[in-house]
Structure 1
């Protein structure tokens, strides 16, 4: 595996790459509190078939932690990624994003559709369409960001890993739960707080209208136990006859963590068709 720190637009972005450069490339973007390593089990399944690129998003993992929340905005992160892809000479690739990383992946694809051969969205959304709902979510994210700074990362993780969204992870083996917790604990308070403020669901614009004109193939994956995102994906899937939506039995929000081999198999089978 190649481990890089890439200078991009004033940041240092951490990238992990594996596989022959001549193989088709797939880029993975993690969710909030995650890092490139969250994809490790999935990426093992791609060895010899695809070149994999996993990225630590702004404020996460080993990537820079800007002190201004506006540096985390969707617009900034899209341009950071495009500059990074240019540096890595990635002109055409598959793009997979989970949750927050899915929102960023979608936004990037809408702006640079010619780069993305197919988009895989795991437990993600195009944002909130109603202004009042967005304002309420933005206020809630700002409040949570303040608590992260005031109470520290351990207190935040203790609460975060017990929210209903991650209830299905309680049944994972103890070793895997420890790995997930350690990944979260290694984050930086400022990075997480600014990420919530700068690119939280309430801060980004809604991309619902833009979905109608997207030319890219899209594969939506949700977990059966994650009713909210199953409903969102079904609504998204209804906007295009060429998109595909799969619901994974017995899985929650983070399918790639709970069922990595199955997730990888589903993605590879979809890519082989496209």
Structure 2
């Protein structure tokens, strides 16, 4: 394993069952998909990971190791160490961007891939620069969260964004918030600066060459990502788009049952 990472991960092995790797979104942790895994039960084996800047994972050697390129290679190294030569991959939001990057750069490692509320990055340099500026403002706010109360206030404002719909009214929101509060704001700020949407390389031009089957899941109330994923499906012939009812950006929390159903149907072998 790379000396630059000490990954915190959870491995659930059901003998002779294929592995699903779940990659969480920004401000998430490895418990992000616990309810999904409970419902999937013994159909699969599972690997969940705290991504750099999140949870208990530690990064050494400099900020560049928070980047999508370095993280992707480090995760492949982790799979090698765990003797997982091929698996399924599921990624949400930021984890979905990382998932797509890994799929396009290491296609031989993944049988099928599910992207939840994900994007291939921003297509133009101007869009990237504008997003980097916006993310820097958010990173500064995170860096000023000294107390738990300040961090909680940041999170409550974060989930007021239109893409999250009415998630704050969901019965599981408080539990999710409690998990998010276990992250470190300064580490999250690093992640946002270095692996944010503006900082990652655009992947749009690679979609046409992808041969790994993709399932694109987007929430019915997340218009921005419906548009992005409609475009992905047009450019990538092996991608299938499904719009999930009663949900916005965080489908696996808002409509867990339908999310699990789509995983089961798509990964059936």
TM-score by length of 2: 0.94
Shift of residue 262, structure 1, vs aligned partner: 1.6
1:70 aligns to what?
A: 64
Q: Deviations over 1:15-74 (max 9, x none)?
A: 112231421111000000001111000001222211011111011111115584322111
Q: Equivalent residue of 2:65, what SS?
A: helix
Residues 1:178 and 2:158 aligned together = no
Residues 1:133 and 2:127 aligned together = yes
Q: Deviations over 1:81-120 (max 9, x none)?
A: 0111111111000000000000001101111100010110
Q: Equivalent residue of 2:58, what SS?
A: coil
2:217 aligns to what?
A: 221
From the superposition, tell whether residues 8 and 179 of structure 1 become closer, same or farther in structure 2 (CA, over 3 Å). farther
Q: Equivalent residue of 1:76, what SS?
A: helix
From the superposition, tell whether residues 260 and 231 of structure 1 become closer, same or farther in structure 2 (CA, over 3 Å). same
Q: CA RMSD in A?
A: 1.5
- Where in structure 2 are there 5+ consecutive unaligned residues? none
Contact 1:222 1:255 in 2 (8 A): yes
1:233 aligns to what?
A: 229
d(CA) in 2 for partners of 1:61, 1:67: 18
2:190 aligns to what?
A: 194
Shift of residue 243, structure 1, vs aligned partner: 1.8
d(CA) in 2 for partners of 1:180, 1:66: 28
Aligned partner of 1:85 among 76, 79, 89? 79
Contact 1:61 1:186 in 2 (8 A): yes
Q: Deviations over 1:166-197 (max 9, x none)?
A: 23213311xx1111111121110121000000
Q: Deviations over 1:135-176 (max 9, x none)?
A: 010111112111111234233213212222223213311xx1
Q: Deviations over 1:184-237 (max 9, x none)?
A: 211101210000001000000100000110110000000000000011111101
- Number of residue pairs matched by the alignment: 265
- Where in structure 1 are there 5+ consecutive unaligned residues? 1-6
Moved over 6 A (4+): none
Aligned partner of 1:210 among 206, 209, 214? 206
- Residue correspondence of structure 1 range 1-274 to structure 2 within 5 A: 8-65=2-59, 68-152=62-146, 153-173=151-171, 176-272=172-268
Contact 2:163 2:248 in 1 (8 A): yes
